[in-house]
Each structure stands twice: as C-alpha cells, then as structure tokens.
Amino acid sequence: MAKLTIADLKKIKEDFHQGIREGAFRVKVTVHMGTCGIAAGARSIMNTIMEELSTSNLKDVAITTSGCAGLCSKEPMATIETTGEPPVKYISLTEDKMRKIFAEHVAGGKAVPEYALVVGHETTY
Amino acid sequence: METTYRSNIMICAGTGCVANGSLKVKNALATELIRRNLHKEVKLVLTGCNGFCAKGPVMVVYPEDVFYQLVKPEDVPFLVEEHFIKGRLVQKFLYTPPAEKNTIPVMNDIPFFKHQVLRALRNRSLIDAEKIEEYIARDGYLAAAKALTEMTPEQIVNEMKGSGLRGRGGAGFLTGLKWELCARVPGDIKYILCNGDEGDPGAFMDRSIMEADPHSVLEGMIIAAKAIDAHYGYIYVRAEYPLAVHRLQLAIDQAMDRGLLGKDILGSGFNLDIEIYQGAGAFVCGEETALMASIEGKRGMPRSKPPFPVVKGLWMRPSVLNNVETFANVPPIILNGAEWFSSLGTEKSKGTKVFALSGALNNIGLVEVPMGIPLKTVIFDIGGGIKNNRKFKAVQMGGPSGGCIPLSLIDTPVDYENINKTGAIMGSGGMVVMDETTCMPTMAKFFLEFTEDESCGKCVPCRIGNKTLLSILTRITNGEGREGDIELLLELSQQIKDTSLCGLGQTSPNPVLTTIKYFRDEYEAHIKERRCPARVCTPLVKFVVDQEKCKKCGLCFKACPAGAITWEKKQPAYIDPEKCTKCKSCIKACRFWAID
Amino acid sequence: MQKMTVTVDGNKVEVPLGATILDAANAAGSRVPTLCHDSKLHPFGACRICLVEVEGTPRKFTPSCTAPAMDNMVVKTTTQALIEARKMVLELLLIKHPLDCPVCDKAGECQLQDLVHEYGLAPSRFDAEKGYLPPDLESPIVERNISRCILCGKCVRICDEQNGVGEWAFTRRGIKTRISTDFDRPLDCEFCGECVEICPVGALTTRQFKYKARSWNLEGTKSVCNYCGCGCGITCETRAGKIMRVGPAKENYLCVKGRFGWDATHSSERLLTPKMRVGGELVDCTWDEALSVVATNLKAIKNKRGPESIGGLGSVRTTNEDSYLFQKFMRAVVGTNNVDMLARLKVPKGLNAAFFSGELNKMSEHEVILVLDKNVGELNPLTGIEIVRAAPRKDRKVILVNNEFNKFNKIASVVIPSSSDKAIEDLVSALSSTKGGSEIKKAVEILKAATSVAIIIPARVTDKEFVKIKELSGQLKNVTHYPLVRRSNFQGSLDMGVVPGYYPGYRGVDAETTASFASAWNAILPDTPGMNAVEMIDAIAPGKLAALYIMGDDPVGSDRHLKEPLDKLEFLVVQDIFMTETAKIADVVLPAASSAEKAGTFTNLERRLQQLNKAEEPVGESRPDWEIIQDLAKRMGGSMRYASARDILKEIKTLVPLYADLAIGACWPREKSPLVNTDVDLSLTSDSIMKQEVITAERLLFSSGGTITRSHEIGTIRHIKIEA
C-alpha cells in the first residue's frame, strides 16, 4: 500500500465526513464489541442484525462495531444513528429486542424508547 | 486566581453541530465578545453533543440556562447585543419543545453520561477499532503529523509539560518531565514503551482503550518517540487480553502499511517500529523495571531505582514507559495545545481520568471524568448508587496498591493530591465499591492474598512481610485474633512500605492501613468481641436469630437450602444448629440484620 | 576521573563517578551490612538489609548497594530507624529460616547468623512458619537445602553473570519463590561450586565438607591448584593437619577440579612406601634400599653404556624446584641432555615464541575476543570465565568458532558454525577479500574495526593452522594471544629447562652456556645435545636407551602402546604419587608428595610465578620430588645441598635471568624471553605415540590426567551424561 502523506490524512478525513454528509448510508448500526460486550452476548446481537439485514431488502444500512461503550453492566449495547438524527443507544439487548429495534428503528426510522437508554453524543472535549 | 465569569456560553462541539458550523459560531462569538469587551465576563466553553444535533449549532447560556438553537455566525453580533448587553432573551433562537414528547432521555438527563468528559476515550463507540480510516476521520494521526513535521522535540516536551498531564498508570509522574529527562540522556538507542499490563483486580481502563481505540495509543507513542528520539517501541500487553492484542496488532499492521509506522513516517524522515510483547500475566510485570526485565526475556523481577529507566531502562538503554491511557491522552494535547488540556482539572491534576467502576454499584462500567470531580458524583450519580438499596460502605481505589475511602470522605475531590491524603491512591483507575455486607478485615485479606501471591519474591519485606500480614489477618478473620494484632499490623505495614524494593511492596499494605484507619472498630470487634459486624467471617457468626430484630417475614426460611430454619407466620425464625451448614444464605436473605 | 564528595555519617569521602552509596560508605569506614550484595555481581537490592538514609530523598530509606552515590550526598548508615528496619528484615527472615545452625555446615561463616548476632534480636513477634522442604540429595557435589535459603539470588547471578551457565533460577512467586534448576531436576552443570562459595547461608553446601568440621576450627594455607595451566590460587583449609576443604584464595573463581579434585591427595591409591622389583614382583622397601638400588643401577649403566643411554622424563605437574632439580640431576649427575617431557606432544604450537599468553585478568580490556577453540571453558576454565566476565559485563564482543552449542554461544556476538581449521582459513581469506559466509563477514567486520583483539589459541594446532593464525594476527590491531595450556606447570617446567636443547631460562645448549652452567653447578656437563621424548622412546628398541627415570608422568596410562618399549628397558624408575600404569612396570617406584604436601613454586600459563605452601604432611613415607632427587644425587656423587625448596628457587634466580627479579605473583615479560620473535616450536609431534588425549570423563571439564581419576568427588559426577 502506498505510504500516506499529511495531505492524504486530511483527504481521508474529508472524504469520510463527505460520505456521512452525503448519506452514503441512511442508517449506521454500531454494535459495541469490547470484551465486556462480547462476554455479554454482542456476537449474537451482531448475528441477529446481519440476519435481519439480509432478509430485509434494505441497502442503505451500514453495520459496524466499536469497543466498549462504557456502561459494561448494561451490555450488550448498540448505537443506531440515522442521517440527520442524533444517535440512540440501546442497552441490555437480546436477540428479540434487536429484531424489534431493527424493524422499528432501522427499517421504520422510529426509535424504540423502551429499550433505549439515551439519545445524543457523549461529551468528547 | 481563577477569574469569575458573569456568564458561560456552552457551545456544542459534537459531531453534528460541528458539521453544522458550530466552530465558526464559536469563533464569531469570541471575536464579538472581544469587540464588545465582554471576553473577561463571558466565558466560551465547547461541550460535547447533548443530543439536539438536528437543531445545531446549539448553545446553552449559564447561569440563565437558556437554550439557543440554529445559530449562524452572522447572527452572533445581534445575539451578543441582545442577550449580553441588553439582557434580553432572543426569541428567534429559543428552543421550543416539540408537541410530541421524546421519551428517550438525552445525555444530560442521564447522570452516567452527564458528568463524563471523554478525552482519552474520545473515540469510544464512534469508530471501528479495526478500521484506520475511521480513526483518521476523527483527526487521527494529525497530531503525529504535526509533531513530526512542525515541532522540535523540545516543543513537544514543553507542550506536554505545559499540559500538566501526569502518568495515568498510578504514580502520577509528570509525563512531559519524564520525556524531557529521557530526551536529555545521551544515547543512540532509546526505547519508547507502552505499559498495557493492567493487572489490578477490578481495573479495565487500558484494555478498553486498546480494544476500542488502538491507534490513539500508537499515535501517542509516535509523538513520544519523536520527543525522546526513540526508533523502537514495545507495547507490553498481557496475553489474557486477546482482543486487545489482536486489535493492536491489526492497528500496527495498518499503520505500517500506510507509512504511519516504520521508515520515514509521513515523509518526515522519522522512523519508528513498534512491536507487541505479550506478558504472561504476572501482576508485578506492570512495575516498570519488571516489565523491562520481562521484555528482555528474563524473570519479571523489578530492580532498584535509581538508576531510573529514563537513564538505564530496557537493555540498559534510556527508555520511556507510559501507560496506555497516558499515550491516548497525548494526541489531543498536541493538536489542541497545553492550555486546552489544562483547562479541565485541578491545580496539580489536569485533564480527565478514566475509571473502571465495579462492585456494589448499579452502573458498572468505564467512565472518564474531569479531575477534581467529587467522589460522591462518581459513585452516586455516574455509578447510579449502591445496588439493592444497600448502604455505601467504602470504595477501594487503586486496587491492591490502593486503599479504601469511607463514607465520611465521600466529598473528596478526585485528584492525585486529595486521594493520596485519604491513604488511598489514584492508581490506574480501578474503583471497587463496597456496601455494608463487606467485612473490611476480609477485604484487606483479599487484597493481601493477591499481593502475597503476586509478589515476585525478590525482596524480603514484600515476600515474607506480606505473607506475615496475611497470616495475622487470617487469624483475625478466623476468630483467633490476639490482643496487639492491630498494632502489629500497623507497625509491620509501615516497615514493609518503607523498606520494599518496588511499588508493589511499597503499596501492598495500603488496604490494611486504610481499613484500620477507617474501620478500626471492625478489627476490634473481630479481635475483642469475636464478632464480625458484616457477618462475613463464618467462624465468628453464631447463626442465631435475634428475636427482637426478627420481623418474622420468613425470608430466611425460604432461603435456607439445608432446611435448618423453622418458621411460621407471625413467629420469629429459629435456626437448628444441628442442621445448619453455615452457608450464610439466611444472612444474605435477611433485610433486618436479625441473624448473628 | 570525575570525583564526587559524599558525606557518610559525618565523614567526607571522595568516590569516583559511578560508585554506589555502599562504595562510599565502605570508603568512609562505615559498616553497612549486606546479604545479597557481592562486588563480583551486578547490584541486586533484594535483601533490604543495606538500607541507609539519604538526606533530601522522597523515600525514607535507600538501598545503598544499588543507588548511585551523588555529589554532595549526605548519608546516614546507622540510625535508630535503620536499626529497626534491619531488625525487621532479620526477624522476617527468621520466620522462615530454620534454626538448625548446630548441624549446618555454614555455621560460623553464615552471614545471617552473624547479622542476627550483631543486631541482637528479641524473641520474634511473629509465628514461625518454617515450611520445611526436604534437601536435594540427588545432585552430585552440592547439597541444596531450600528451607535455609534467603533468596538473595547470589547463586543465580554468579552462575549466570560469571560462569555463563545459568543453572540456577528463581521459580514460582511470592512466599513460594525458590531457587531451582530446570524442573527441579538434579544439578547438571559445571559443578564449580561457586554458588556454594557465594551462598551467605547454608542453603547450598558441599557434600565433600558435610559434617567434616566446624568452620571456626579450620586453618587456611594458601597454595596453587595443580590441575590446569591457569594455576588458580587456592586456600587449603585444614583441621588437625588434614585438608577439609579447598576454596579460592582471595576473591577468585575455582572450577570443579580446583575446588573438589584435591581429595585425590587423600586417595587410598596413594603410594605410601618405596617399592622395588624382587623376583618379578614390586614389594615395599625402605627409602635407603630403594635409592641404593636406583643409584647403583644408574651408575652401572652409565659406566657400562655411557650417560647418553640414560634418559629422564620430567613432569608438568611438579614444582619449578622439582623440575629444575630433575634436569640438573640428569645433566650434572647423570651427565646427559636426555631430559624432556612427553607432555610437549600436547602443547599448542608456538607457545613462548609466536604465541605468548596475555594476562587472564586483562582479557576484558580487549575490545573483541576471538575464540578459536570452543572447548576453552573445559580446557582452561578460568580463561572461559574471563571471556564470560568480559562479554556481558563489560560489553565486549565475542566471536566464537563453534560447530556445536555450548555456553559461549549465548554471549557471543557472532558464532561461526564451523570447525576451527576451516574458520581460521575462512577468516584469513575474508580479511583480504569479500568472500565468506554471513557470519565470517560479520566477524571480519568486527575484527577489522577493533582497536584490540584477544585470540584464544586452540589447544592443538596443525602446522597449517599455525601459519594461518599468525597471518590473521598480523592483520589485526593490538593482538594478545591466549594459548590454552592444560597442564598445570607446563610453563614452569619448560622455563626450568626440562627440554633437551635448553638449559633453564631457554638458554640453548651451546659451548658457552654449557661452560657457564658447568661452573655454576660445579660439574662436568655433556657437550652433545640430548634426545627428545619421542627420540628416547624410539631409542629403547634398538638398545640405545637402557634406563629411564620418569618423574610425575604416566606414559603407559596415556598411551598403552608405550608399555611395550618401556618393558624393554634395562632399568626403569618411576617417581609418582600413585601406582600408575607405568609404575606397575617399573623396577623401582618412589612415592612422591602431592602438591598439597609440599612447598615450591609454579609458573602458570601467564608466566606468573606462584607460591605453593605445604598444607599437610606427606602421606606415608612419601617425600617431595626435589628431596628424593637430592638424596639420589648424593648417592651418585653429586653435590646438592638444599635445605628447602626456597634454596632451590634462590639458585634458579641466579641462573635464570627471567626469574632474577620475578616476584611471587608477577609474570615474566615476554620481551625478556630469548625465544621472542623466533620460530622456535616447543611442541613435539609424533606419528606413533600419544596420538590421542586420554579423556577420563564424559566431559573434558571433568578430565585432567590420572590424578583426577583418583578424586572421589569428581568421580561422583564423572558418569553424568551431559547433553548439549
């Protein structure tokens, strides 16, 4: 792979945000897969979403992972972010909960308050 | 002296608002405030997202607690004129709650998130740790680029010293000073080392960072390497952290592929290779000199300091070893400046600290809070208070090297100086919260068992002293304590602290010392009254129902697995000593402390 | 050198940069107790008994053995707090340490015992937890009593840092930590016993000394080890005139042979009385009878067939005085130059001419050490130790030629994995071209850049290798050679002229020198050159040589084919300490005293003059070699009147310029040698005899001529299988 320059770094950053702004995907689902999440069953949550996604016809959903979201006692957790909307964090997920969230939030665009903990970004400065 | 501001404007700098131009609004505000000579009265603060991204840029003005939304740079002069000079609310930007109430709370509604400020964990839940592009998209490697191409080693050191960042591994040595000391030592071969050998029971800060944001550690190491002129680095991670090892290795490979590690990083001419060294999980290998011995392939035994590792470290070469969290803190300092970093925290403890909350709390997890936050806030607000409506008894900070802090000191601000005053230590960030069902001598014994087992066995006070402390604690919790045991514990503990070789032995008696300091009555109850107030030490529990305290509820009867309890409605319970197996199920079940 | 001023207990002292606080305290005369510290080892800082107080440091106490002294430092070594801290350390140690001093061989020289005595501990406040672990009774030589161990780690460190072996290691953690071998198996090492020597308590003791004596009843006699050319200084510790154990003189190393092999002197196989052949059988006789028979027979043969029909084979293990008198006897009393040593068949070529040995303790001054003989540690253990000491501790580069694997591989910068002859050839050709494998190239690069090089010369070199090594040396800067010499006093016996062509001091047998020795010795000396050892053996069959006087050598034991020619001799005298294979076929056997039973001097491979002292009385009727020779000479009409070995040394000093001003402990300088810059080769070659070394054990290390086979202690390890 070609070695990056500083200009490349900035371009990667630009392109990435461009991508987000232009809505390459309408929905981004992040499953928190740190050791705590995995131990609590994040893999089966991940599998459920993948299954749901493949059986649905949705083409505008990105599924990704990240590390521990901080609230280990409420794992498995997932964050769902729809373009233009603040992200919603779901906690203590099960496969059934995830299916419902998928149907209502990911596909339907309407958050599921009974499984959600919080909406918004954490303070990062 | 701190300036008192009349007003604070909290401008959201969450991803959504920044995309909507909140930084431009902030700049416009700053300019306007100076123009109006209000900059000494009104303070501008950038905050994280509070959830109203759709209405961004948003801002809150304190103390009025007024929420403005959809502010544009061109609106700023009008807004300043109206709000700060004329003192009128600007209706145009005021937030109107929607008719349909959003039932999902926002970040500020949830104490767990409200009090947190993420710096070391800035990318948590935002990026995929296995994709370097996502890290780059969050300003990743820009700090390294700046350090490598625009800064001299002296400038990096000065920025770090100015920031006041102190080692997050526990000892709290000024990071910039450590780098400076090493940079000054002559030597053609130096090493930059990262300590990921997190071993305290109840601590998982470093693991989480390595798993969630491995590139931030690498970037911190690149910057440090430039500061001390090192071209080789090791990350020492215990093999029990397979996911951390996997993601770090992936990160190293990706960075190598893209020229962010290896030869001529980002075309700057600077070289740095980083290798992971997997430790076998000995606690003592978290001690810097033992860690280096371990990398050298030797038994992980500490050696005496001085000479310090900055002079003679790995393979007797000058080396800087920093903790994972410390490195993760470095890139934003280089990008945003020392002043930015030191804007949070207390006089001598700057920035934020990551804590791993565990024990008898409702919210167990990983939190990052500004230094100086009251301990109470961490435990009762962020931690959500004690589970099962029990009472808070103490919090163990700093793991086996730390000490306990009782309820009476719950207002202690969390920073290096104030925590040290209590007899506990800041440590690497483990907070184990205990409720009233914890027996303090047993808790001290638990940690002593750990340190006694994890002692490398090199120096006499740690090897035999800790074993002796443990023997005394064991006899106390077995109901065989002797008159004078408390004094013996105190004296031996102090001697172990004074004479041990490394940090392990120098701190291992802290749990004993602090539990005696704050819970001496419990020790006395064990020794003099042959009683365990928390009903934990089985040999000291009589397994007799206190007729007066018994509320005749029958919970113990239902809990007993041995059928040893007889109970009828409206009658106090009775425990048959013949059948009782002393399993303590009844004690756990009883809500009225009626079983002695 | 930069100096620092340190105030210790109110006394100002100057110490060099790099000194520790302990060094400063010692310089100031303040006694700081230590348990884990040893000046031979890297600082360790484990025992915490050497803590001191340093003004202005954040911590209450500072370990003085590891902390560097700083300029203007103010140190207190004995405060009440320090005494309390040290007492606590001792009190803690005694929780575990068994109080079995009455049956512990270390009692009386145990550092823990001394410290507990010094600090006068009150009864312990803690319950004893002795945790008895059974002693290791399986290892040869060394007994390991883990319960007594205080884990100072000295054994671990000396075995690694000095010996390069690393047999000991810490295993387990916390209170369960112990010193152990791999998987706790019995020791399988060089058995040098350095770990026992350095152990401050009775955790490691020797089986040889077990229950032999209390240390305070021992008297020490300084002497020299008689096993190899290194000539290590030893202290023979005796009780009631008997050696109980042997340790190093001063602070030096002893190998397994030096420390434990002395018990050959107590072997039941020692010759106790003279013997003579009566009716085909060797029978005990008196000294008078034996010497009369020898004198009579030698005189008769000399008269009948001329002095050149008598030969003398000297020894490489007798003292300079013995050897000097032996050759003087042969030349001045018998009247022949037929005097030589068979051991010349086993020396490196060029010794004392092309290759003079450097001083061993200066090995580490060389930037690079080129080891051309992988067996260096087995042949001359101290030379091996000096290489290990130099490499990791002083950052010297070692280039090792080794087609197998041994301890030197671990410390070598470059290992050339081929045989010595091939490696030498490759190195020479690579010096002038760019040819060669990667190891050779790397080695040459290092050698070319080095400002000084030490070369370990193989114990045996062929003519071709000899030329190549000379060529190699010529192209490098500041080369010092270290030839390997296996026999203890080979150098001394050569110096003393136990060679047919040279009088003592390498003064060639010519008319002028002969005249000067004739006048000094007041004798008529032969004017014809003598036969060398090989020629003498060859001369027996044709009848040219009729009698042989062998002192301290066992030709038949070294090569059983030699029995045949020796059997043909008219008269054979063997003077030895054991009934050797050669003695068995002798006509007269004269019992000699061992090196522990007599005084005298050795000259080791460094050409260092060393003093042997008598540690015990000669066993039975045995006598020092020089006394026997002097007695014999008198009976043959010679005039020898020496009252002691010292008298002989005086005469040597007057006749041998090399020794004239040579003090005990000094090396004679190579420049003074008459052979310097000559092509003289003091080695012998033969296609027929003594073609092979006799190895008496599985490892060269445990093998050293016939004496070692009579050591009981060495015998206990001889059968141990050592795998590389």
Chain A CB within 8 Å of residue B206 CB = no
Ranges in chain B, pLDDT < 50: 1-2, 99-101
Strands C73-76 and C51-54: antiparallel
Q: What is this structure's pTM?
A: 0.88
> What CA–CA distance (Å, rounded) separates C545 from C66?
68
CB contact under 8 A, B303 and C45: yes
Chain C residues whose beta carbon lies within 8 Å of the beta carbon of residue B464? 92-93, 95-96, 175
pLDDT digits (tens, 9 = 90+) for C13-25: 999 999 999 999 9
Chain C CB within 8 Å of residue B387 CB = no
What integer pLDDT is reported at residue C66 of this predicted model? 94
Which among A3, A38, A120 is the nearest to B106, CB-wise?
Answer: A120
Q: How close, in Å, is residue B409 to chain C by CA atoms?
A: 27
Chains within contact range of chain A (3+ C-beta pairs < 8 Å): B
Task: HSE, CB side, 13 Å, CA atoms: give it for residue B376.
Answer: 7
Chain B CB within 8 Å of residue A11 CB = no
What type of residue sits at position B20?
A: N
What integer pLDDT is reported at residue A23 of this predicted model? 64
Chains within contact range of chain C (3+ C-beta pairs < 8 Å): B
Chain B CB within 8 Å of residue A71 CB = yes
**If residue C470 lies in a helix (H) or strand (E), which one and from where to where?**
helix C463-474
CB contact under 8 A, A125 and B47: yes
What integer pLDDT is reported at residue C281 of this predicted model? 95
Cis peptide leading into residue B331 (ω within 30°)? no
The length of chain A is 125
- Tell which of B126, B148, B243, B253 to mutate to test the A interface (max A CBs under 10 Å): B126
| Residue C138: how many other CB atoms lie within 10 Å | 11
Chain B CB within 8 Å of residue A43 CB = no
Residue C137: Cβ-neighbour burial (10 angstroms; 0-12, 13-18, 19+): exposed
Q: What percent of chain C has pLDDT over 70?
A: 99
Give the model's confidence band at C720: pLDDT under 50 very low, under 70 low, under 90 confident, else very high: very low
CB contact under 8 A, A67 and B137: no
Query: Whose CA is closest to C346, among C372, C317, C310, C383?
Result: C317
What integer pLDDT is reported at residue B74 of this predicted model? 87
Residue C636 confidence (pLDDT) above 60: yes
Q: Which residues contact C55 (CB under 8 A, 6 or more apart)?
A: C73, C74, C75, C76
> What CA–CA distance (Å, rounded) separates C550 from C559?
15
Residue A69 confidence (pLDDT) above 70: yes
| Torsion angle, alpha carbons of C257, C258, C263, C267, to 10 | 60
Give me the helices (H) in C501-624, please: 511-521, 533-540, 555-558, 563-567
Q: How close, in Å, is residue B416 to chain A by CA atoms?
A: 21
Residue B249: Cβ-neighbour burial (10 angstroms; 0-12, 13-18, 19+): middle
Chain B residues whose beta carbon lies within 8 Å of the beta carbon of residue C63? 304, 501
What integer pLDDT is reported at residue A22 of this predicted model? 62
Alpha carbon B130 to its chain centroid, in Å, reads: 24
CB contact under 8 A, A119 and B104: yes
- Quick one: DSSP state of residue B85? I
- Quick one: DSSP state of residue C667? B
Query: Whose CA is closest to C576, among C559, C556, C560?
Result: C556
Query: Whose CA is closest to B185, among B302, B287, B292, B320?
Result: B320
What integer pLDDT is reported at residue B251 of this predicted model? 97
C-beta of residue B526 within 8 angstroms of C-beta of residue B546: no
pLDDT digits (tens, 9 = 90+) for C396-444: 999 999 999 999 999 999 999 999 999 999 999 998 887 778 899 999 9
Task: HSE, CB side, 13 Å, CA atoms: give it for residue C164.
Answer: 23
For helices C80-96 and C111-119, give the axis angle rounded to 10 degrees: 130
What integer pLDDT is reported at residue C462 of this predicted model? 86
pLDDT digits (tens, 9 = 90+) for C484-512: 998 999 999 999 999 999 999 999 999 99
Q: Which two tokens stand for residue B325?
A: 């969290």
- Tell which of C51, C80, C86, C88 to mutate to test the B interface (max B CBs under 10 Å): C88
What integer pLDDT is reported at residue C601 of this predicted model? 97
Beta-bridged to residue B136, according to DSSP, are none
What integer pLDDT is reported at residue B201 of this predicted model? 87
What integer pLDDT is reported at residue C721 of this predicted model? 45
Q: What percent of chain C has pLDDT over 90?
A: 82
CB contact under 8 A, C88 and B499: yes
Chain C residues whose beta carbon lies within 8 Å of the beta carbon of residue B455? 173-175, 177
C-beta of residue C258 within 8 angstroms of C-beta of residue C232: yes
Q: What is the mean pLDDT of residues C543-552?
A: 96
pLDDT digits (tens, 9 = 90+) for B337-392: 999 999 999 999 999 999 999 999 999 999 999 999 999 999 999 999 999 888 99
Contacting B residues, span 33-72, partner chain A, CB-CB under 8 Å = 46-54
Which among C61, C95, C173 is the nearest to B455, CB-wise?
Answer: C173
> What CA–CA distance (Å, rounded) separates C500 from C339?
5
B-C C-beta contacts closer than 8 Å: 105
Residue C718 confidence (pLDDT) above 60: no
In order, the DSSP letters of chain A are: -PPP-HHHHHHHHHHHHHHHHTTS-SEEEEEE-SHHHHHHTHHHHHHHHHHHHHHS---SEEEEEES--S-GGG-S-EEEEETTS--EEE-S--HHHHHHHIIIIIIT----TTTEEEESPPP--
Residue C602: Cβ-neighbour burial (10 angstroms; 0-12, 13-18, 19+): buried
CB contact under 8 A, B304 and C51: no
Q: Which residues contact B368 (CB under 8 A, 6 or more apart)?
A: B116, B117, B118, B119, B120, B121, B352, B353, B354, B355
Instruction: List the beta strands (DSSP E) in C570-613.
Output: 571-576, 588-591, 600-603, 609-612
CB contact under 8 A, A68 and B137: no
Residue with tokens 């290590």: C232
Chain C CB within 8 Å of residue B459 CB = yes
Alpha carbon B337 to its chain centroid, in Å, reads: 23
Q: How close, in Å, is residue B155 to chain C by CA atoms?
A: 29
Chain B CB within 8 Å of residue A47 CB = no
> What CA–CA distance (Å, rounded) separates B331 from B151?
13
| Residue C519: how many other CB atoms lie within 10 Å | 10
Q: How close, in Å, is residue B112 to chain A by CA atoms?
A: 8
What integer pLDDT is reported at residue B99 of this predicted model? 47
What type of residue sits at position C265?
A: T
Q: How close, in Å, is residue C200 to chain B by CA atoms?
A: 15
For residues C463 and C635, the model is more confident at C635
Residue C724 confidence (pLDDT) above 80: no
Q: Which two tokens stand for residue B367?
A: 């939190």
In order, the DSSP letters of B249-266 are: HHHHHHHHHTTSSBSSGG
> What CA–CA distance (Å, rounded) separates B298 from B517?
39
Give the model's confidence band at C723: pLDDT under 50 very low, under 70 low, under 90 confident, else very high: very low
Beta-bridged to residue B363, according to DSSP, are none
